[in-house]
Copies of this chain bind each other. A is one copy, B any other.
Amino acid sequence: MVTNATIETLLNRRSIRKFKDEAIDADTVATLETVAQRAASSQFLNDWSAIRVSDPAVKAKLAEFGHQPYIATAPLLYVFVIDEHRNARIAESKGIDPAGDDFKLKTSYRFTQAQNDAVLALHAMETAAYSLGLGCVILGSILNDINGLIDLLNLPEYTYPVLGLAIGKPDQEPTLKPRMPRTMQFFENTYPADSENDLSEALPAFDAEVHQYYDLRQADRPVDAFSDQIATVSGQDVSGKTLLDKAAAQGFTLDK
């Protein structure tokens, strides 16, 4: 394998869920935010924003949404959002009515691309943080109560929450979590037909490897095999986290 400091940082990434009670200095914060802004942006729309959450009451509320107490303890905490609100205001200043059909930034394509842009920015910030010896955890769990989250952060029309990111000095050392063999996830020129992609070749060894991994969240026993985890998660209720109805209330027309 080819290597350098950046590749080492990326290869050694692991989620950190316990932080030292030490603030992150303003210079580091400025660096992380500037790095996030440098990520690619579809059509140069710059169509995301991030809410930096420093108010303990807001942090506590996010921890409540996510059912994860550690969220409230994160020294640095962000919620990244799709943001076509800023662009709608700009378009409006140019004589375009965002409520009308001619305003296309609220369509499904722009929504998904803005979501991608937000994730690119978040990952740039995450990578920079790890390179500085900080640790992070990406928070999908705050989406458990999307309406609550929208209310909490006063997210206006044409914005939508994407993910949270908690950052701090690590106060735990989790082991590196297994990944499936590369040939299970990378294919050449075509997605292989099931008949030519026999999972029973590589999956059992990966299942066994995962089953040997210890998660610090339940340190007394190895985690379930990958296949068992998939079976469990595939049945988990996510009905509180439907996307479309709530996106419509934020002004998006995802059927277009």
**Other-chain residue from B9, B10, B45, B254 in contact with A244 (beta carbon distance below 8 A):** B254
Whole-angstrom distance between the Cβ of A206 and the nearest chain B Cβ: 10
Interface readout for A129-156 with B: 1 if CB under 8 Å, 0 if not? 0011000001010010000000001111
**A108 in contact with B182 given A116-B115, A116-B162 (CB within 8 Å):** no
Q: Which residues of B contact A30 (CB under 8 A)?
A: 1, 182
Number of copies: 2
A71 near B: Cβ within 8 Å?
no
Interface residue A112 (Cβ < 8 Å from any Cβ of B): yes
CB-contact partner of A54 in B3, B42, B185, B188, under 8 A: B188
Indicate the size class of the contact surface on chain A: 35 or more
| Cβ-defined partner of A104 (8 Å) among B96, B187, B234 | B234
Report if A219 contacts B (CB, 8 A).
Answer: no
A184 to B86, Cβ gap below 8 A? yes
With A31-B2, A179-B37, A238-B107 as known contacts, state yes or no: A49 contacts B131, CB within 8 Å: no
Q: Which chain A residues numbered 97 to 111 have a C-beta less than 8 Å away from chain B?
A: 102-105, 107-111
Interface residues of A in 74-123 (CB under 8 A from B): 81, 83, 85-91, 93-96, 102-105, 107-113, 115-116, 119-120, 123
A89 and B194 form a contact (CB under 8 A): yes
| A15 lies within 8 A of chain B by Cβ | yes
Q: Is the CB of B238 within 8 A of A7?
A: no
- The answer to whether the Cβ of A28 comes within 8 Å of any Cβ in the partner chain is yes
Q: A190 near B: Cβ within 8 Å?
A: yes
Specify which chain B residues have a CB less than 8 angstroms from the CB of A256 in the assembled complex. Answer: 239, 242
For residue A218, CB closer than 8 A to chain B, the reply is no
Give 9 A-B contacts (CB < 8 Å), ordered by A residue: A6-B6, A6-B128, A39-B123, A42-B138, A45-B233, A51-B190, A87-B230, A107-B238, A244-B244
